[in-house]
Structure 1
Amino acid sequence: MGVPQQPQPQQQASAGQVLPAPDRDVVIDLARFFCLALVVVGHTMMVSPVLHPDGTVTTENTLAVQDWFEPVIWIFMVMPLFFVAGGITGLQSWRRLKASGGTGLEFAQARLLRLIRPAAALLAVMFAGLWAARLFGVEPQVVELIVTGAGMPLWFLAAYLAAQLNIPLLAALHGRAPWLSLAGLTALVVAVDCLRGALPLLAYANILFLWCAVQQLGFILADATAGKPRASTLIAVIVASNVLLGLVTGLGLYRGNMLVNLNPPNFCLLLLGAAQAAALQLSRPVLTGAASARWVRAVVGLAGRRAMTVYLWHLPLLAAMSGLLLLTDFPKPSAGTAEWWWSRPLVLLGIIALLLPVLAVFGRLEERTTAAARSRRRPAAAVVTAVVVVFIPVADAAVNGLTLALLGGGAACFTLAVRLLGRIPARVGAAPDGAPGAPGGPLPQAPLSANVEP
């Protein structure tokens, strides 16, 4: 799929050369920026801490209880689009690494470092700050409220990591039978959904199966030739996905609220992902023009370099700000009232103000160089151990909820994983002349040869 372009020479490398980095795909950058902005804005309309007369504190999800919100979230549930974009860029990154002689372990090492380094800083700072708050007499319920806010972004980190770490395996399956591999993952998603009533914990298996299936949609986009499929086909995919989504929710097989369908994820998110992938490709010509504007590229590029920091920190900061306001006499309108809605722009401005110093201090972790010419490849045991120690606290938090003690344990595990992974060895060799990027074909050409990470 894509905008018709002039043929470009095949990317090749002679022995001893490093493959040049491809141009960025401004459309994928813009899509990620839109998704991130929508998530931040949406969370400001969800978190509503309530201080009851007896001194207890609870939190309400205001949007989740609004009847008008259920059809709206069909459009603005953008998590599937994150994974579609991750599938495009992840497949390209793996193919480039493999073409230069890299291995699946090196790919896992790079992905883990890129994602858990900012997360380790967040967990460590939050554990130290909240433990200090407890020592200074802050109400335990307020502390737990903030801890809960910290835990919400971690599910995405766990799901995204699980999908990305499987890219080498899934790329091999995609190279042999792309539609069959997507159908197999879809079948696993539906099977888990059918059994989740009898085995509730089994539903969490779809954190892997569902998001890997959505990621495969990105693989298909990345490998589609210019101008295919046609606009009529893309429109048909959008219509069919939404009609089927309406059918399964209308019959009561799934809930109509996509926030409920998100945790744990189910088949509805795959249908949304298919519609969003098709819509992204259909709108590519328009988005390319909009994203090519100099000021748009500047804003999107700046946000993109700090995207993981913004995502990880914005909700804990929102929870902290909300919790601290409970301890003051600052006006606190009831959730869902007109005054509450009018206060949302102020809350958003407050979060942006809090994010600026955080980005200045911790945003550099995303830009920290991960390649060193003399770094040694890490042993397989070190990479595998890092994966295990990362997923232990995340899995515990997903099943049992995040506590202050688990927050500290997670910080220790993430820090240990960073130490185990070390630095990414630079690829000084390259693929021989004419070598394809992967079994599925040559390295992708523009506009989908973009945003290769790390």
Structure 2
Amino acid sequence: MVPRQRAGSGQAVRPDRDLVIDLARFFCLALVVVSHTMMVSPVLHPDGTVTSDNTLGNQRWFEPVVWVLQVMPLFFVVGGMTGLQSWRRLRARGGNTFDFMQARMLRLIRPAAVLLAIMFTGLWAARLTGVDPQVIQLSVSGAGMPLWFLAAYLAAQLNLPLLARLHARAPWLTLTGLTALVVAVDCLRGMMPTLAYLNMVFVWCAVQQLGFFLADRGPLALGRPALAGIILASNLLLGLLVWLGLYSGNMLVNLNPPNLTLLLLGCSQAAALQLFRPVLSSIAAMVPVRRFIGLAGRRSMTVYLWHLPMLAALSGVLLLTDFPQPAGGTAAWWWGRPLVLLAVIGLLLPVLALFGRLEERPTSVAIARSRPAAAVVTAAVVVFVPVADAALNGLTLGLLGGGAACFALAVLLLGRIPARLVSDPGLGGSDPPLPHPPLSANVEP
């Protein structure tokens, strides 16, 4: 539910949605789903072992393409825009940092907890029935990739209240400090490889700050020549770093753990979002497009979390049958990709019908109290322990079960979002006016 302002006549007026944000989110999600169907390629070897190849990522021609189509930074830019606006709305209603953390975690981990529990139960049952452990591990790994994004996005969002305060006081100094931390970790990761995972916080928090500038109509809300200059300068600097051999030119290699190249891509994509905003706004304003992306946006996290497990499950089932399995990268394999995409979409439809509602704001009919700060912090720790273990050591069936238990415990600790924080003035409430700049009513709680 989105807060409304009262017009002079006393009628509740809902602020306009920023349809460009909805369109950007939908584009990013669609591109991720399509590209993943072209990457996962399970291989059954003559000796009975099963491996998974990244067919698309292994193509030499794909390296310059992924430079353009690596849209993960754009997710965090948009998350910074809507997150900052949501934080300001919540503050206007009397909420605090722990209320924000509670709302963010509930929105993200409730769907994830159900996914992990169902995957663990199904795969454990498959193991008991004698399914090859390697096929099971292939399916387990399908949950690993969505979880790293969930961990990174949660880390950025949970730090948002602090970063928003720093941004209000010294926006450029805050961004410069985060960038310096990113560079420092990149310089030290050769001596201490594990240290590189700190950039899952520093890089994405820095990219999120770019969204703050967009939300405030700050330096990135420049004229077209200046925005084009930012795009050109970011890519030239990125090309120079790659040419010097300091970073890989493959943006999939640079993704996990992330490094400075993703921050530079974030600068370019943030500027591009502003540069092409008039065109994107016209497209998003079309009634069929607006309705479709609005519907997709309400279930975006469910699609993201479930599409890879569905793809891995489909691949595992096919390995257990006599269905033709063309070698990855062959013409037959490429021609079969549209069929795989359609099959994954078909599997996602019942999942969305069954579990999509978990993504809606978990409010209570009765007025609920804010959770104690200790409960919120404990929930955050409980969530990040299994995710960090999976990032460092890989996801296993046992860790999948442990993660499901931890996520469920976190949901119990968080309870429900206090109703006073999501009250609707149109139903008789009296909320303070929305803060400036004008806010968009996007899917963030």
TM interval, short-chain normalised: over 0.9
The 8 Å contact of residues 87 and 215 in structure 1, kept in 2 or not, is answered as yes
Q: One-letter code of the match for 1:112? A: M
Query: Which residue number in structure 2 is paired with residue 271 of structure 1?
Result: 264
Q: One-letter code of the match for 2:444? A: E
Aligned-partner SS, 1:58? strand
Aligned pair 1:103/2:104, yes or no?
A: no
Query: Which residue number in structure 2 is paired with residue 7 of structure 1?
Result: none
Aligned-partner SS, 2:41? strand
Q: Give the Å deviation of 1:449.
A: 2.1
Aligned-partner SS, 2:57? helix
Q: Give the Å deviation of 1:44.
A: 0.4
The 8 Å contact of residues 48 and 60 in structure 1, kept in 2 or not, is answered as yes
Cα 1:371–1:244 shift into 2, 3 Å: farther
Query: Which residue number in structure 2 is paired with residue 451 of structure 1?
Result: 442
- The correspondence for 2:384, drawn from 364, 372, 391, is 391
- The correspondence for 1:258, drawn from 251, 262, 265, is 251
Query: Which residue number in structure 2 is paired with residue 167 of structure 1?
Result: 160
Aligned-partner SS, 1:59? strand
- The correspondence for 1:121, drawn from 105, 114, 124, is 114
Aligned-partner SS, 1:378? coil
How many residues are matched? Answer: 435
Aligned-partner SS, 1:424? coil
Q: One-letter code of the match for 2:61? A: W
Q: One-letter code of the match for 1:450? A: A
Aligned pair 1:382/2:379, yes or no?
A: no
Aligned-partner SS, 1:102? coil
The 8 Å contact of residues 117 and 418 in structure 1, kept in 2 or not, is answered as yes
Partners of 1:390 and 1:409 lie apart in 2 by 10
The 8 Å contact of residues 220 and 274 in structure 2, kept in 1 or not, is answered as no
Higher RCO (CA-CA < 8 Å; seq separation 6+): 1
1:349-428 to 2 correspondence within 5 Å? 349-367=342-360, 369-427=362-420
- The correspondence for 2:45, drawn from 34, 44, 52, is 52
Runs of 4+ aligned residues of structure 1 deviating over 3 Å after TM superposition are: 11-14, 225-228, 433-437
Percent of residue pairs identical = 73
1:423-434 to 2 correspondence within 5 Å? 423-427=416-420
- The correspondence for 2:139, drawn from 122, 146, 157, is 146
- The correspondence for 2:175, drawn from 177, 182, 187, is 182
The 8 Å contact of residues 43 and 53 in structure 2, kept in 1 or not, is answered as yes
Query: Which residue number in structure 2 is paired with residue 207 of structure 1?
Result: 200
Query: Which residue number in structure 2 is paired with residue 33 of structure 1?
Result: 26
Query: Which residue number in structure 2 is paired with residue 339 of structure 1?
Result: 332
Partners of 2:396 and 2:87 lie apart in 1 by 36
Query: Which residue number in structure 2 is paired with residue 216 of structure 1?
Result: 209
The 8 Å contact of residues 93 and 452 in structure 1, kept in 2 or not, is answered as no
Aligned pair 1:302/2:295, yes or no?
A: yes
Partners of 1:123 and 1:20 lie apart in 2 by 40
Q: One-letter code of the match for 1:242? A: N
The runs of 5 or more residues in structure 1 that have no matched partner are 1-10
Q: Give the Å deviation of 1:426.
A: 2.0
Query: Which residue number in structure 2 is paired with residue 81 of structure 1?
Result: 74
Q: Give the Å deviation of 1:24.
A: 1.4
Query: Which residue number in structure 2 is paired with residue 62 of structure 1?
Result: 55
Query: Which residue number in structure 1 is paired with residue 223 of structure 2?
Result: 230
Cα 1:435–1:177 shift into 2, 3 Å: farther
The Cα RMSD (Å) is 2.2
Aligned pair 1:197/2:190, yes or no?
A: yes
- TM-score, with structure 2 as normaliser: 0.94
Partners of 1:372 and 1:356 lie apart in 2 by 29
Query: Which residue number in structure 1 is paired with residue 427 of structure 2?
Result: none
Partners of 2:14 and 2:150 lie apart in 1 by 26
The runs of 5 or more residues in structure 2 that have no matched partner are 425-429
The 8 Å contact of residues 13 and 434 in structure 1, kept in 2 or not, is answered as no
Cα 1:435–1:357 shift into 2, 3 Å: closer
Aligned-partner SS, 2:208? helix
Q: Give the Å deviation of 1:20.
A: 6.6
